[in-house]
Amino acid sequence: MKNQLPLLLLAAISTLLFSCKAKKHLAYEQYITKTPLLQAPMIAEIDVDLTKKVSANVRCYKSNEQNAKQAALYDAMKNSGCDVVVHPVYEIIFGRKVIEVNVSGYYGKYKNIRKPNLEDVTLMQELQDAQLLWNPNAVVIEKNIFKK
């Protein structure tokens, strides 16, 4: 029995060492081209209900301000069932490791989603031009192509 003990011990150790299988997981890679994907813009009207107030309170740990605001906005939309919070107002309280965000706004639902027509495109261009006039930080470079 004493002579068999080292053999049994050697057999047990070798069984444990060689019975383990190494698994190798393979995954197929698909290369995606990095060319821009063109999409046609869509126009959506928003039905705003000024009688419905939407609000949420979120506490985020180890996060930044922007992510905490997005989390509060998402929570407000999820709880109320709205598509968009119109005129969101944020109250942000910074703690040592926590950011507490209270958001409130009005209930908004998308309706009449459609492709833009010529009238919509000209209106968007006029609004973009008017936004440059009201934005004090905008830099407008004027070039006259007729002068040489």
- Determine the Cα–Cα distance for residues 29 and 48; give it in Å rounded to an integer: 45
Confidence of residue 30 (pLDDT cuts 50, 70, 90): low
- Determine the Cα–Cα distance for residues 123 and 120; give it in Å rounded to an integer: 5
16: amino acid identity, one letter: L
| pLDDT tens per residue across span 61-71 | 888 888 888 99
Contact 111, 43 (CB under 8 A): no
- Determine the Cα–Cα distance for residues 56 and 117; give it in Å rounded to an integer: 37
- Determine the Cα–Cα distance for residues 59 and 81; give it in Å rounded to an integer: 21
pLDDT at residue number 24: 52
Distances (CA, A) of 39 to 4, 14, 20, 36, 112: 77, 63, 52, 10, 19
Is the whole model's pTM more than 0.95, yes or no? Answer: no
DSSP tag of 109: E
Give residue limits of the domains in the chain: 43-113
